[in-house]
Structure 1
Amino acid sequence: MKVLVTGAAGFIGYHVCEALLARGAEVMGVDDLNPYYDVRLKQARLQRLGKGFSFQQLDIADHEAVRLVADGAEAILHVAAQAGVRYSLENPFAYAAANLTGHLSILELARHSKSVKHLIYASSSSVYGTGSTLPYAESERADRPSSLYAATKRADELMSSSYTHLFGLKQTGLRFFTVYGPWGRPDMAYFGFAEAMTAGKPITLYANGTLKRDFTYIDDIIAGVMGVLDHPPGDEAPHRVFNIGNHRAEYVQDLVALLERHLGVKAKTVDLPKPEADPVETCADISALHALCGYAPSTRLDDGIPRFVEWYKYWRERRGDV
């Protein structure tokens, strides 16, 4: 099987590529290697992808360049995006380019391809906004995004729906819930906390760490993505959207306690009120994805964080911090 993976140098994209290669797939990866976070980490991920993997550096918002890369792919796993809720306040046009124009580029690529049979794309739990009923179910209207990032991801879902209606394009959208683990993103809270704690700097906790998040370990996420790949949509429901999370909300303060234990460092904390765009709690209803492919995440936070910390210590040494 030949698969195109966008955002191949990113956290989820790298792990998707690794899983596909382990299956014997031929993987074509694209990524623009933008400096939103340390490019050395992105390059290190790519260096770990060996036989069967090819890579092209390009910006998916460049639709003319994207048009040339499918080259016989049977499936596209589109996980490239400008991530981060708060950064959208600083650089909104980066979100319009990567998440809107970029998504449209991939839709056009899939639409005109003679080989692509299934487009799987990344959405986000952020589309539910701050007022949805817990646990979040796909049946929620998701029409009250509380950040520009969330609005772009919901717009991607709507664009995909229209392309399925117009052109019969078979697609699956995945609403990811707070993914964490080795080779993760430095802009995520757990990674940023580890960085600050090891440097002896304070970390910011909102509402004294009492916010709750559906932390989902990367291996469980990849198992779900592969399950979706193995169960493509049929004609009766050619465009589907699924939650992909852990179905277990954990306090942020418990995450910090686990980091303290496994890093061997006591966190210095600064308490601030909850930002308006942040929900008090997130939790995924994963029954639909379970019914499709048996998706059943099994990694608890107290198992996943030690694995992250073990990798993090390796990464600090590799980049020369210790």
Structure 2
Amino acid sequence: MPTVLVTGCAGFIGSHLCERLLADGFRVYGLDNFDPFYRRETKEQNLTGLLGHPNFGFAELDLRHGVETLNAAFPDETPDVVVHLAAKAGVGPSVNEPAAYLDNNVVGTTHLLEWMRLRGVQRLLFASSSSVYGNTPRRPFREDEPLLASCISPYAASKLAGEQLTYTYHHLYQLSVLNARFFTVYGPRQRPDLAIHKFIRLLRAGQPIPVFGDGTTARDYTYVTDTVDGIVRGVRYLMAQARVYETINLGNNRPIPLLELVAAAGKAVGVTPELQFQPMQAGDVEVTFADISKAQQLLGYNPATSLETGLQAFVHWLDAVPEPAQA
């Protein structure tokens, strides 16, 4: 039975990924530090379906605490693949706390890579971000885009630094790596601070929707099961390769303008949105737009969930979850 270590397993994407891997017959070890960016109870709810599974093991730990913490949590386990999702998230907050983002996302990643080197783990899928492209003018975004002067937030810089670190370990220690740049993932369990979650709660409360900028900014919204399918395909790809270093986009290949998203969210809950225009936020990019041809070629990746279907699924989940997950 192949084994996967998933960092950030209690988060939005991580919990969905663990469930999918278990359903596909993998043994899964998960770790999470329950970062207080949002409520611990929310992440504990995300783990509900995992903790009793016979092929799932969990450790609460912080990667910033070093290799020995990982050794203590997993003294005997040597996973076949590591999927590194754990990170301090959020573009806007990173502008106000840059050191915290570099500490979590760069130092934490370095400790994980060192543990992998010492333990002899040879395969890594690293969760990067579309934010590394910044406002690059060539669209859709391609993985071969030069990115030396692209990052416009500390979060983006921390993710690009993570990619540089994975290449260093590939070069020095023959680590096989797949860097996966995620594009605005949404769906059940989405973080409460993200646009779709926030908009739908505001609509239901009869409150206005904040629109940053003129409403023409656009995001390549990707439903969580499509992203998770890409990750699982990436895990299988790494297991089939002797040694590889690749970077791929996991997006939906269709940017949705902000005003179109707000209208679709209003339709999903049956409310006409009231808009409240505000200045653009520091660190926000104008558009994200994934060229997914490389992921299609390497992995057979094919996102299939429409925005309408994804929003309906999110609303149904929001109706069913206990109150702490909505805060």
Structure 1 and Structure 2 fold alike (TM over 0.5)? yes
Report SS of the residue matched to 1:295.
coil
Q: How does 1:27-176 map to 2 (within 5 A)?
A: 27-49=28-50, 50-51=52-53, 52-63=55-66, 64-70=68-74, 71-114=77-120, 116-143=121-148, 144-176=150-182
Closer, same or farther in 2 for the Cα pair 1:113/1:132, shift >3 Å?
Answer: farther
* Superposition deviation, residue 110 in structure 1: 1.2
Offset, 1:200? 2.6
* Cα deviation 1:256-293 (Å, max 9, x = unaligned): 11221222233332112333532221110011110011
CA–CA distance in structure 1, aligned partners of residues 128 and 62 of structure 2 = 19
> What residue in structure 1 maps to residue 10 of structure 2?
9
Deviation of residue 69 (structure 1)?
Answer: 4.0
Greater shift in the superposed pair: 75-84 or 255-264:
255-264
The answer to whether the 8 Å contact 2:35/2:88 transfers is no
1:222 maps to 228
Provide the C-alpha distance between the structure 1 equivalents of 2:65 and 2:164, rounded to a whole number of angstroms.
21
Distance 1:56 1:16 in 2: 17
Q: Is the 8 A contact 2:95 2:283 kept in 1?
A: no
* Unaligned ranges ≥5, structure 2: none
* Other-structure match for 2:19: 18
Residue 188 (structure 2) pairs with residue 182 (structure 1)? yes
Residue of structure 2 aligned with 1:250, choices 252, 256, 280: 256
Shift of 1:106: 1.1
Q: What code does the residue aligned with 2:168 have?
A: S
Does the aligned pair in 2 maintain the 1:259–1:309 contact within 8 Å?
A: no
CA contact (8 A) 1:203 1:269 kept: yes
Structure 1 runs not aligned, ≥5 long: none
Tell me the secondary structure at the aligned position of residue 91 of structure 2. Answer: coil
Counterparts in 2 of 1:320 and 1:81: CA distance versus 1, 3 Å: closer
Partners of 1:118 and 1:170 within 8 A in 2: yes
RMSD after superposition: 1.7
CA contact (8 A) 2:268 2:308 kept: no
Q: 1:309 aligns with which of 311, 315, 320?
A: 315
TM-score, scaled relative to structure 2: 0.93
**In 2, Cα distance between equivalents of 1:19 and 1:68:** 27
Shift of 1:320: 9.3
Q: Which position in structure 2 is the counterpart of 1:210?
A: 216
Cα shift readout 1:150-175 (whole Å, capped 9, x = no counterpart): 00000000011011111111111110
| Higher RCO, 1 vs 2 (CA within 8 Å, ≥6 residues apart) | 2
Aligned mates of 1:67, 1:320 — CA distance in 2: 32
Q: Quote the Cα distance in structure 2 between the aligned partners of 1:265 and 1:271.
A: 18
Structure 2 Cα separation of the partners of residues 117 and 166 of structure 1: 12
Distance 1:37 1:295, change over 3 A: same
The answer to whether the 8 A contact 1:60-1:106 is kept is yes
**Residue 198 of structure 1: how far off its partner (Å):** 2.1
Distance 2:157 2:60 in 1: 27
Identity %: 38
Amino acid aligned to 2:114 = E
Write the distance in 2 (CA, Å) between the matches of 1:208 and 1:69.
49
